[in-house]
Structure 1
Amino acid sequence: MSVFTCMECQASLTAEVSRVALPVHAHQRFGHDLLPPLLPPGTYAIDPEPFGTPWRPWSQIGAAEAESRGVYAPVPVLSDGPPGTIVIAPGEVRGTVLIPERLDGYCLGLDGRDGPNLACERCGVPVATRIDDCSLWQAVRLDPRAVRRVPTAGARELSWDEVLSERPDKPLVEQPGYWSGEWTAAMGAALAHLLVASTGRPVNVPDGLIAETLRTSIDGLLPPAPAPARRLALAGPDLPEGDGDIALVPVHPQTGEAWRPRGDVMTVVPLPSDIWMRLVSDEGRTPVPATRRMPDGVHRDDAPPMHPNGPFQPDRRVFLRTLARLPEVRRPWLMKIYDGMGGFGLTLT
């Protein structure tokens, strides 16, 4: 657990928070409504990439500098702001005031386009950027140059059994029939990793929810070829050993580390653990023993699940953003896909 304080005057700027992995939808733009906080209460995450102003176009950056920053395909702009911003939910902020001349946004709120818009209430030094405009997940990004982390207590890392026992309900469809933004982002990132893992060969996607969220996209990007198809499967803690070549595996919500199968015989594609668990339960499997299950012969009276208003589509922006940061994108067949989906026309934040 930690509290972040002002570097200048040591005033506390946050509640007590514990570190978690940066969500895969952290840079997503979704819909045209006000979105909830990016992170749950009592947590923070570190974004390793630069964030905020100033922005530099690709013509000034070039391939060599971009590669040194972990970007391997052309992008319109990259941030020259500080790397390592500390991301928290707006409700975890303490002792700050808005900077009146930096409160611009696109539509219904703040988007940080003018730089840090929160100052320390005690000394007036700009310390953070609040983001709450429509289409953006609400967050406050603390400037690592202006704040200091003060440890308050040790945080225990959860075991995989503990992670999977929480069984969070991650709805696939939200009101009024839209596919969940977290799902579209997770599958957009997974699709980029899956393309790399395919090595350009077709991929057999199993039936069920995995097929509903990934099969159409992967089949469209990898047309049938004479080469033998690779097999996609679920793999993870306490699941039986599968016979796939590519494994969808959970990412630990605290560390951000993907689960690895024994012997690394399969190429892994990471997924947020709560979404991975939903895919597992769709197949009728249980990674850890369940408690308080309904007795046999007793039926639940929950409302039926919502029906989506169209076919599932992984988030294109998240897909391209993820693919641009994988070195394999430089392979000609992958660069053709990247360019064909408008990679250079994507504004990355």
Structure 2
Amino acid sequence: MTVFVCARCEAVLTVPVSRVALPVHAYQHYGHQLLPALMGSGTFAVEPEPTGPPWREWSEIGEDEALARGVYAPVRSLSYGPPDAVAVAPGDVRGTVLIPERCDGYCMGLDGRNGPNLACAQCGEPVATRVDDCGLWQTTWLDPRSVRSVPDDEPSPPVIGWDELAEQDECARTPPIDPPGGWNPVWEAAAGAALPHLLVGASGGRLTVPEGLLTDAFRTALDTLLPSGPPPKSLALAGPGLHAADADIVLVPRHPQTGRVWAAPPGPHPVPLAAEVWTWLASDQNRTPAPMPIRVPDGVRRDDPLPLLPPVRFRPDWDIFVRTLARLPEVRRPWLRRIYDQVTERPYADPF
């Protein structure tokens, strides 16, 4: 395990935490409700890209400088803050106080627009940025310039094996429907991150999607964005316990701890998908309907509740789609750049 301390006075700033992959929904903006914590208790993740202010507009950056940053298409702005910020759950932070003059936000909380808003309680050094405004996942970002990591005596949790990941019970998966009955924002974020890779794999042609939850999550978006033309390729789910040798493109899990992508057998084009979504899809695909011995008589009510149905069509997250696609070198291909320009110019059009 790891503890983070103030680089100036060595005061302890976190409980012991173990490293995991940065969740795919880290930068999601979702509605106007208060969202829960981004990170699980006792975990941390590192963002290798620069984060936070100062920000520079695309007109100031230029294509060459953006390419050096791994950005291959125009974006609104880029952060020129420090790289390697550390995300932790707000409840895992210790020994800090708010900096009142930096506590701005859009609506019901803090959005970190002015940089670090938490200071070390012992020496006053700005050490972190608390984010908890409406529509943002609650996170504390430790400033890599002001903190350092110290090994802790407590052992880190073991890394879950791929087979264990596939066999996790329902409590460890993220369902597609949230408690109020709408689509789960984590699913929308995961689809927004996977969709650019699916477009690359499709190579500008149509892509067939199997029936079920994969259809709900991807078919409308793929049919809207991809032009008609070449013979269609096929999409399937693959991973530990699931084999799709006949598919052209396979959605495979991204490990929640290490961030590594499951190694698909040679042949199909692999596309990473957030593990918490992949595991639900895998369990749904492996579920075999039990035959009904008799027909339920008319007028007899079921004694189990019917599944909730979302009130609206599933929509991949636009912000995450654009952020991901801009960082793929393939976006420079003319047909894919046309899709990128179309989506950025009309952010509220189908399929978003």
Same fold? TM cut 0.5: yes
Deviations 1:135-171 (A, max 9, x none): 0000000001111111114433221122223232412
Amino acid at match of 1:69: R
Cα 1:48–1:302 change in 2 (3 A) is farther
CA distance in 2, matches of 1:345, 1:79: 21
Aligned length: 334
CA distance in 2, matches of 1:321, 1:256: 18
Q: How does 1:194-209 map to 2 (within 5 A)?
A: 194-209=198-213
Extract structure 1 runs of 4+ deviating beyond 3 A.
300-304, 343-346
- SS of the aligned residue for 1:56 comes to strand
Residue 104 of structure 1 contacts residue 112 of structure 1 at CA under 8 Å; is this kept in 2?
yes
- SS of the aligned residue for 2:104 comes to coil
In the alignment, does 2:252 pair up with 1:249?
yes
1:319 matched to which residue of 2? 321
2:59 matched to which residue of 1? 59
In the alignment, does 2:265 pair up with 1:271?
no
Residue 191 of structure 2 contacts residue 316 of structure 2 at CA under 8 Å; is this kept in 1?
yes
In the alignment, does 2:82 pair up with 1:82?
yes
- SS of the aligned residue for 1:268 comes to strand
- SS of the aligned residue for 2:62 comes to helix
Q: How does 1:26-45 map to 2 (within 5 A)?
A: 26-45=26-45
In the alignment, does 2:218 pair up with 1:214?
yes
2:159 matched to which residue of 1? 157
2:332 matched to which residue of 1? 330
Shift of 1:175: 4.0
2:102 matched to which residue of 1? 102
Q: How does 1:290-305 map to 2 (within 5 A)?
A: 303-305=305-307
In the alignment, does 2:197 pair up with 1:189?
no
1:173 matched to which residue of 2? 177
Residue 74 of structure 1 contacts residue 344 of structure 1 at CA under 8 Å; is this kept in 2?
no
1:23 matched to which residue of 2? 23
Residue 76 of structure 1 contacts residue 345 of structure 1 at CA under 8 Å; is this kept in 2?
no
Residue 15 of structure 2 contacts residue 93 of structure 2 at CA under 8 Å; is this kept in 1?
yes
1:71 matched to which residue of 2? 71
CA distance in 2, matches of 1:278, 1:213: 13
- SS of the aligned residue for 1:269 comes to strand
CA distance in 2, matches of 1:302, 1:14: 45
- SS of the aligned residue for 1:196 comes to helix
Aligned CA-pair RMSD: 2.0
Amino acid at match of 2:144: P
Q: TM-score, normalising length from structure 2?
A: 0.91
CA distance in 1, matches of 2:305, 2:46: 38
Residue 233 of structure 1 contacts residue 242 of structure 1 at CA under 8 Å; is this kept in 2?
no
Residue 3 of structure 2 contacts residue 151 of structure 2 at CA under 8 Å; is this kept in 1?
yes
In the alignment, does 2:4 pair up with 1:4?
yes
Residue 165 of structure 2 contacts residue 279 of structure 2 at CA under 8 Å; is this kept in 1?
no
Q: TM-score, normalising length from structure 1?
A: 0.91
CA distance in 2, matches of 1:52, 1:230: 40
Deviations 1:23-49 (A, max 9, x none): 110011001100000011110000111
CA distance in 2, matches of 1:112, 1:200: 39
Residue 52 of structure 1 contacts residue 81 of structure 1 at CA under 8 Å; is this kept in 2?
yes
CA distance in 2, matches of 1:37, 1:301: 35
2:308 matched to which residue of 1? 306
- SS of the aligned residue for 1:279 comes to helix
Q: How does 1:123-162 map to 2 (within 5 A)?
A: 123-152=123-152, 153-155=154-156, 156-162=158-164
Amino acid at match of 1:244: A
- SS of the aligned residue for 2:286 comes to coil
Shift of 1:285: 5.0
CA distance in 2, matches of 1:221, 1:233: 19
CA distance in 2, matches of 1:193, 1:232: 12
1:238 matched to which residue of 2? 241
Amino acid at match of 1:201: G
Query: Identity over aligned residues, as a percent?
Result: 56
**Of 169-178 and 144-153, the range deviating more from structure 2:** 169-178
Show structure 2 runs of 5+ residues with no match.
294-301
In the alignment, does 2:291 pair up with 1:280?
no
CA distance in 2, matches of 1:78, 1:105: 20
Show structure 1 runs of 5+ residues with no match.
287-293
1:290 matched to which residue of 2? none
Cα 1:25–1:117 change in 2 (3 A) is same
2:261 matched to which residue of 1? 258
